[in-house]
């Protein structure tokens, strides 16, 4: 089966098939005739644009007996590339989905032939995608690897501007429409479907990807995140911490696309404090939904044999360095994400782990938990040794990368990031260097400072190593169509 998947991947990369054509090969995604694997059940809860510092307001997730990775990062800080990385364990430069849309990104550019779902299904897992798939998805097509497909259609593609109410779902090939009733609130709809999946009378272990819309702000940018009506009265006075980088007074040392930004109007409807508050409110339905799933697992006698992972696809700026509601930036607020892994057999209590974990680590971790091989096409590392309490040699830095404009004039960039330092090279030629121990909010850019010359040279050399390795495996970029060359490909979806 693995050789077949590799062969299909080669054919697809040569252009004989595209990602959506592969999804029409029914034999590739068909479930095994009989269960062949006794691995643990898996529920991966993936939120959308959730900052790591909102986790404290999720009581259920915060109380899980789990390993919480406090230094978890998205290698590409944008919905579609990060989700593709989670499904494949690959950097964006390898899987080739670099942006949310256009010729360099979106679901149409994704190759679904060899994903975590495909591999788990082939090993005997019952697989379910519930919620948001990849940006631009508006179809009745079902990618290979999924037994149960309950995917929200992309509002940007449908021009509806909605993910919380008045949306459509592709339910295993049939389009279902949801309205504006309280019961149509998307998080609740998705959780109810996951409950059906885990209650099903099926002896196979299950893998469920529950991908909520929350806490993303309303598509189209008109409003903040939408909370469930039952949570309206919560957190009325909540505000985010205004760190030294919040609405930064002097950004003259930042790249030109930031240094020309005006100070934020904190009285605007979409001001950062309001958006932070609405993020937290919208997450309450996610947290309650996880509590319901845990209760069902306990009642079914499946809790002890179920891995529950909670993560966001990327972070989000909320006023830092004058940037609001954007995410393809090389700063902590964009890079860092919440990551909590609970598996009663390995995490009987709460453990805080400060080692660096990445979005590309989820696929190899779950393959490892299922007893499946991890091949060289996967860039991430299994976190299973860390869950077991082992102390293996571990990464001390990682490559972060981004393409396309999230703000006017923003160039592509690449960075080497560690717990102590961040060094960024922008395609415009701008450089950034931050001492994260002395300057955790990245206010003082030390690039070009003679006192930091040795450190800058060391990090530049390390980034060069990453970029050379990237060039060896990167999927070739298509030539942008003229309309895309001057327009953002990342949008707000």
Q: Give the active site residues.
A: 79
Rounded Cα distance between 257 and 240, Å, is 25
**Which has the closest alpha carbon to 145: 124, 127, 169?**
127
Residue with tokens 């989700």: 83
| Alpha-carbon dihedral 174, 180, 183, 184, rounded to 10 degrees | 30
Q: Is 115 helix (H, G, I), strand (E, B) or coil?
A: coil
Q: DSSP characters for 130-184?
A: EEE-STT--SS---TT-SEEEEEPPHHHHT---SSSS-EEEETTEEEE--SSGGG
Rounded Cα distance between 130 and 190, Å, is 6
Residue with tokens 């909520």: 212
Beta strands in 248-370 (DSSP E): 306-312, 336-337, 339-342, 351-358
Rounded Cα distance between 282 and 74, Å, is 22
Rounded Cα distance between 152 and 130, Å, is 8
Count of beta carbons in the 10 Å neighbourhood of residue 194: 25
Phi/psi-derived region of residue 145, left when phi > 0, alpha when psi is between -120 and 50, beta in every other case? left
The tokens of 147 are what?
């037994």
Rounded Cα distance between 286 and 282, Å, is 7
Rounded Cα distance between 422 and 350, Å, is 29
Rounded Cα distance between 417 and 396, Å, is 9
Residues in the chain: 493
Q: Is 64 helix (H, G, I), strand (E, B) or coil?
A: coil
Q: Is 260 helix (H, G, I), strand (E, B) or coil?
A: coil
**Which has the closest alpha carbon to 249: 329, 321, 326?**
321
Rounded Cα distance between 302 and 402, Å, is 40
**Which has the closest alpha carbon to 47: 81, 75, 71, 83?**
83
Angle (CA) 86-97-151 rounded to 5° is 60
């Amino acid at each position: 089966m693995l050789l077949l998947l590799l062969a299909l991947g080669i054919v697809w990369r040569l252009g004989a098939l595209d990602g959506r054509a592969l999804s029409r090969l029914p034999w590739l995604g068909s479930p095994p005739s009989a269960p062949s694997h006794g691995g643990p059940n898996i529920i991966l809860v993936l939120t959308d644009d959730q900052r790591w510092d909102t986790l404290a307001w999720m009581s259920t997730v915060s109380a899980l007996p789990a390993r919480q990775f406090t230094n978890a990062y998205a290698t590409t800080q944008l919905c579609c590339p990060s989700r593709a990385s989670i499904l494949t364990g690959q950097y964006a430069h390898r899987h080739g989905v670099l942006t949310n849309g256009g010729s360099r990104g979106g679901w149409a550019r994704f190759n679904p032939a060899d994903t975590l779902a495909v591999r788990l299904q082939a090993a005997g897992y019952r697989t379910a995608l519930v919620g948001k798939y990849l940006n631009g998805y508006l179809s009745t097509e079902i990618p290979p690897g999924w037994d149960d497909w309950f995917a929200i259609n992309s509002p940007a593609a449908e021009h509806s501007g909605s993910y919380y109410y008045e949306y459509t779902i592709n339910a295993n090939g049939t389009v279902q429409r949801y309205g504006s009733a309280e019961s149509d609130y998307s998080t609740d709809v998705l959780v109810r479907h996951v409950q059906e999946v885990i209650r099903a009378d099926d002896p196979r272990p299950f893998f469920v990807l529950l991908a909520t819309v929350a806490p993303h702000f309303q598509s189209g940018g008109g409003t903040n995140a939408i909370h469930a009506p039952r949570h309206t009265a919560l957190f009325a006075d909540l505000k985010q911490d205004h760190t030294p980088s919040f609405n930064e007074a002097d950004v003259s040392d930042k790249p030109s696309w930031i240094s020309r930004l005006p100070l934020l109007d904190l009285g605007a409807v979409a001001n950062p404090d309001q958006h932070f508050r609405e993020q937290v409110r919208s997450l309450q339905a996610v947290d309650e939904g996880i509590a319901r799933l845990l209760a069902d697992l306990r009642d079914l006698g499946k809790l002890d044999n179920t891995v529950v992972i909670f993560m966001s696809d990327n972070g989000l700026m909320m006023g830092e360095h004058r940037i609001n509601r954007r995410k393809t930036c090389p700063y902590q607020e964009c890079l860092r994400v919440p990551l909590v892994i609970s598996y009663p057999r390995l995490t009987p209590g709460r453990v805080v782990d400060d080692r660096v974990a990445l979005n590309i680590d989820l696929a190899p971790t779950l393959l490892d938990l299922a007893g499946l091989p991890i091949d060289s096409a996967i860039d991430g590392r299994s976190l299973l040794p860390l869950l077991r309490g082992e102390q293996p040699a571990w990464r001390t830095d990682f490559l972060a990368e981004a393409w396309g404009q999230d703000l006017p004039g923003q160039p592509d960039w690449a960075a080497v990031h560690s717990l102590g330092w961040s060094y960024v090279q922008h395609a415009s030629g701008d450089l950034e260097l931050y001492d994260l121990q002395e300057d955790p909010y990245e206010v003082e850019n030390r690039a070009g400072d003679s006192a930091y010359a040795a450190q800058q040279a060391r990090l530049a050399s390390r980034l060069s190593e990453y970029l050379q390795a990237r060039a060896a495996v990167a999927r070739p970029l298509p030539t942008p169509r003229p309309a895309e060359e001057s327009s953002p490909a990342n949008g707000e979806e």
